[in-house]
Structure 1
Amino acid sequence: MGQEIIIALIQGGVTLSVGALTAFVTYRAVRLQIKKNEETFLKKREQQEKERTKVERESHDYQKQIIERFIDFEIHDNFNIIKRNYNRKLVFSTEKLREEEFDPTGLDFTEFDKIKYELIKYKSDTINEVIEIYDAFRLLMIYEGLCRKMPDDEFHKFKKGYEHCLNRFEKDLRQSLMYY
């Protein structure tokens, strides 16, 4: 009977050791699997973020193409109309803009009116700039080209839009200065 107890104790000890070892190995395996799953999740998330960034960049590029193709020409034409005051003098600075008188006859909003509802779906500095430029054109129409009639807040909107045009078409203005 003594020997049977020792064998039972040894078998019990071996069983407990195997059970403990199995529990430990299972615990480590589960931890390792969790870590692998986290890494896979992070890689997948990183890939999705890259794809989202790519889509946003493509969308932004598309916005620029729309503006460049459909609106930029119209903005340039409109700016060519208003870059000279009533005296046909070139206005290449906003320094004394408040005193200027422009002839808004011929300002065109056709292309802008066609896609303005599409433009407001996008959010970018370029779109905001285009809207500010068209606000300036509309203010000239409303106040019949007389900047001194504009209330201060509207004059500042006009000035901002005019500055955008000056920046966009600076090269064109320099050429105009050389010929006149």
Structure 2
Amino acid sequence: MDKEILIAIIGGLVTIVVGLITAFASYIGAIRGSKLQIEKDQQAMVLQRDADRKKRQLEYNEEIRYRRELIERIISHEIKDNFLKIKSDTFEREVLYSDNVKDVSIFFRKDFSFVEFDQAKYELIKYQSDKVSEVMLIYDAFKIIKRREMLKNFTPDELRELRKAYLICKERYS
């Protein structure tokens, strides 16, 4: 064989080996690069998903807060109207700040309104707050008044609830 052919064959083999090594290195590099890009995209997706979740949670919390405040505002008007029906200096003097109320004969008007409360009570119980607890206490007192009609018919526990509800109403709705 001629020297030139041998050099050409060796040169061709070296070129093929270098080409194979280059192709293999390119393949490995492409795989690693793809994996890195996939990981980076996954991290970006996780960050975006977390940001979207936080945004949705904030929107949900804001909606809940708005609905609760709206319900409380609507009900507060009804509470004020009902409270003004029982509010009196005589009641405060002889019942609220007195220990002996059995001798006091106060007859309560029975025309309380429960329309707004009855419509919103199932929505209200979804929210846990001091204000909701106060609203429930106040309406319980109104219902006791409606049921008992006269002060002398109240049990000591009912009278205690009435006093507590009355003081809350006096503070918030007078």
Rate the CA distance shift 1:34–1:75 in 2: closer, same or farther, 3 A. same
Rate the CA distance shift 1:103–1:49 in 2: closer, same or farther, 3 A. farther
TM-superposed CA distance for 1:107, in Å, is 4.8
Contact kept, 8 Å, 1:98 with 1:148, in 2: the verdict is: no
- Specify the code of the residue in structure 1 equivalent to 2:77: F
Output the TM-score relative to the length of structure 1. 0.64
- Specify the code of the residue in structure 2 equivalent to 1:62: R
SS state at 1:108 partner: coil
Q: Separation in 1 of the partners of 2:139 and 2:62?
A: 25
- Specify the code of the residue in structure 1 equivalent to 2:63: E
Paired residues in the alignment total: 164
Q: Separation in 2 of the partners of 1:17 and 1:51?
A: 50
> What is aligned with 2:112?
108
Higher RCO (C-alpha 8 Å, min separation 6): 2
Output the TM-score relative to the length of structure 2. 0.65
Question: Which structure has the larger Rg?
Answer: 2
The structure 1 residue matched to 2:69, chosen from 55, 58, 64, is 64
Structure 2 residues without counterparts, runs of 5 or longer: none
Rate the CA distance shift 1:40–1:25 in 2: closer, same or farther, 3 A. same
TM-superposed CA distance for 1:19, in Å, is 1.4
> What is aligned with 1:134?
139
- Specify the code of the residue in structure 2 equivalent to 1:164: I
Moved more, 73-82 or 44-53: 44-53
TM-superposed CA distance for 1:9, in Å, is 5.8
> What is aligned with 1:40?
45
Contact kept, 8 Å, 2:107 with 2:150, in 1: the verdict is: yes
Structure 1 residues without counterparts, runs of 5 or longer: 173-180
Contact kept, 8 Å, 1:107 with 1:137, in 2: the verdict is: no
| Pairwise CA RMSD | 3.8
- Specify the code of the residue in structure 1 equivalent to 2:78: E
